[in-house]
Structure 1
Amino acid sequence: MTTEWAWIWIPATITAAAFQVGRNAIQRGLTEQLGTIGATQVRFLYGFPFAVLFAALALWVTGSQIPLMSWGFAGFIIAGAVSQIAATALMLGAMRKRAFVVVTAWTKTEPIQVALFGLFVLGDHLTWMAMIAIAVATAGVVLMARKPNKTADDSKGGWQPVAMGLLAGGAFAVAAVSFRGAILSLGDGHFLAHASWSLACGLGVQTLLLAGWMSLFDQAGWQRCLKAWRVSIWGGLLGASASQGWFLGFALTAAANVRTLGLVEVLFAQLFTWRVFLTKSSRNETIGMILVVIGVALLLR
């Protein structure tokens, strides 16, 4: 069954990247109102009910039982959950200091780190063509992040948003490999059921962790998070839908392949910026986008 549907990782990943741009935009808008932790919790708190719905539908459609979970599964889920919380908070913190597309680009240095973590932790070997594709696409992303003609806004925050963006990419890499490890640890079964169940468990852990932390240390922020449900619920829906796509990809191929193809998110973010903020692309951004497209084409080939 998995072999027959292996190609699904491609449309699932592209769809996930598109949904993630929308979710990031909503979270970025909520950061000023809710703070970095509050905006991070939106992704998990309001995404969890949708993830549970996705898991229930997946189990019903595939005729699967709830998977048997091991301590290995729990370890991978917790590692992925904590890493993703840290990555999201770092990303949103960086976005408060720098442009939406620039920070998105910095976090997308992730695929190289995913490839290394995946090799050492899960034994996910990649072909030479895949490694070249990762390098080319990542080079394109780094080039897009460079601003040849700096303005006062571009230099705002100095080196801190750069470091935060790169650390976010590393934490996202750990999360991607951990979640793939969780799915694989469930053993034989339908990939849709395993991916959806792992997502629901991951979001459940993340929601509980942040809810506990905010209840103890940021009760005012917790109250603001609950009151902002009208906007937040859309962030939750987009976030859960994006995560569903990522997890389907992790179930079917190496995390490095998924996260490299996921670099199309940078192109979607650029398109979003053109349409919403009415900004034009620089020469570096244009060349970078071409390299991302070439890298993705090499990967798919």
Structure 2
Amino acid sequence: MFSVATLWIPFTIIAALSQVARNAMQRSLTGPLGTWGATNIRFLFGFPFSIVFFALVVGVTGDAVPWPPAMFWPWLLLGALSQIVATGLMLVAMNDRSFVVTTAYIKTEAIQTAIFGFIFLGDHLTLLKMVAIVIATIGVVITALRPGGEKGFAELKPTIIGLVAGAGFALSAVGFRGAVIAVPGVSFVTAASYTLVFGLFVQTLVLTIYLLMRAPDVLRKILGLWKPSMLAGFMGAFASQFWFLAFALTAAANVRTLALVEVLFAQGVSYYSFKQPMSPREVSGIVLIVIGVALLVAA
């Protein structure tokens, strides 16, 4: 059985699986909607679901709805705005490079999250956890280095885009964790759901205003594609709900490192669904990811 302190492990795995599905849906909408239109999908259509999640949580826990303290807002804005930029860059990079190679660049996020978490939140990580984070990250990079992919790593533009996107996601994780733990006097479940509502509200507001000013026709296209957008929004809010629950219980670096299991999920789908054999390099990368994640969980 899991104690409350270790619930972040199943929460993270659920979030990672949901994120894989959301990314696939969001990526399919990039063509008709453009980068920022597809980015806004997860926020605009995810926000109503976050309100439903919060209402359900408050109904079950009986927690009072708290007023956000002053220190809540800087953390929330850091998390919300960093995630907007990082998501947009991720979609740009996905259109420029293969999905797996882009993932490798972005997944330096785990190491960057550890650094930012220590600097901004004072999150303490043991030496074993740091070793686990580095091993798992190296495993992701090796897994992505498929034949013909090495050239991509030598190209400066996609490298910078991927690394900056990773930094954005790292700052986002740290910011949202800071906001969740700043919510006073409620259970961790309510604090996570509460932060999600405000986070998606800010993101929806910022990106919708931007699109109204710069590309109002994109908003009309979004409304025209409301059916696939609704599903992508639900999966985005569902994934974020579990990310925030995990952030409430442990350091953001722990969560983002365990989230590397999504690479294993993607490899498994490729192998079993598309019968794509794995090279020795990919196998060695997967072994390193497994070792890193196992060390993290054991630590």
Asked if these proteins are the same fold (TM beyond 0.5), I'd say yes
Q: CA deviation at 1:238?
A: 1.0
2:200 maps to 203
Counterpart amino acid of residue 92 in structure 1: L
Inter-partner Cα distance in structure 1 for 2:264 and 2:246: 19
In structure 2, what is the Cα distance between the partners aligned to 1:158 and 1:31? 23
Task: For 2:132 and 2:21, locate their aligned partners in 1 and report how far apart those are by CA, in whole Å.
Answer: 26
Structure 2 CA distance for aligned equivalents of residues 239 and 276 of structure 1: 24
Partner SS, residue 278 of structure 2: coil
Q: Normalization by structure 2: what TM-score?
A: 0.94
**2:290 equivalent to 1:293:** yes
Distance 1:289 1:5 in 2: 29
Aligned to 1:179: 176
Q: Is the 8 A contact 1:115 1:255 kept in 2?
A: yes
Q: Shift of the alpha carbon at 1:140? A: 0.4
Q: For 1:157 and 1:208, locate their aligned partners in 2 and report how far apart those are by CA, in whole Å.
A: 38
Mapped partners of 1:265, 1:296: distance in 2:
11
Decide whether the 8 Å contact of 2:152 with 2:158 is kept in 1.
Answer: no
Q: Measured at CA, do residues 214 and 276 of structure 1 come closer, stay the same or move farther in structure 2, by a change above 3 Å?
A: farther
Counterparts of 1:72-91 in structure 2 under 5 Å?
72-91=71-90
Q: What amino acid maps onto 1:42 in structure 2?
A: I
Instruction: Provide, for residues 14-67 of structure 1, a one-character-per-residue CA deviation record: whole Å limited to 9, x for no partner.
Output: 000000001011111111111000110011111111111111111111110112
Q: Which amino acid aligns with 2:23?
A: N
Q: Name the SS for the 1:65 alignment partner.
A: coil
Conserved 8 A contact 1:183-1:198: yes
Q: Paired residue for 1:146?
A: 145
TM-score (normalised: structure 1)? 0.94
State the 1:189 CA deviation: 2.0
Query: Structure 2 matches for 1:195-234, cutoff 5 A?
Result: 195-234=192-231
Alignment length (residue pairs): 297
1:67 & 1:196 partners in 2: Cα distance?
Answer: 12
Counterpart of 2:132, as a letter, is A
Match of 2:40 in 1: 41
1:26 aligns with 2:25: yes
1:17 aligns with 16
Q: Which residue of 2 aligns with 1:243?
A: 240
- 1:97/1:157 contact within 8 Å kept: no
Matched, 1:269 2:269: no
Please say if residues 144 and 289 of structure 1, whose CA atoms lie closer than 8 Å, have aligned partners that are also in contact. Answer: yes
1:256 correspondence with 2:238: no
Taking every aligned residue pair, what percent have the same amino acid on both sides? 49
SS of residue paired to 1:281: coil
C-alpha displacement at 1:143, in angstroms?
1.0
Aligned residue identity for 2:6: W
Deviation of residue 118 (structure 1)? 0.7
Relative to structure 1, is the Cα distance of residues 277 and 49 closer, same or farther in structure 2, using a 3 angstrom cutoff?
farther
Structure 1 counterpart of 2:55, which letter? Answer: A
Shift of 1:276: 6.0
Structure 1: runs of 5+ lacking an equivalent: none
Closer, same or farther: CA 161–53 of 1 in aligned 2, 3 Å: same
Given residue 262 of structure 1, which amino acid in structure 2 is its aligned partner?
A
Helix, strand or coil at the partner of 2:71: helix
Partner Cα separation in structure 2 for residue 298 and residue 99 of structure 1 = 29
Instruction: Please name the residue that 1:118 is paired with.
Output: 117
Amino acid corresponding to residue 177 of structure 2 in structure 1: R
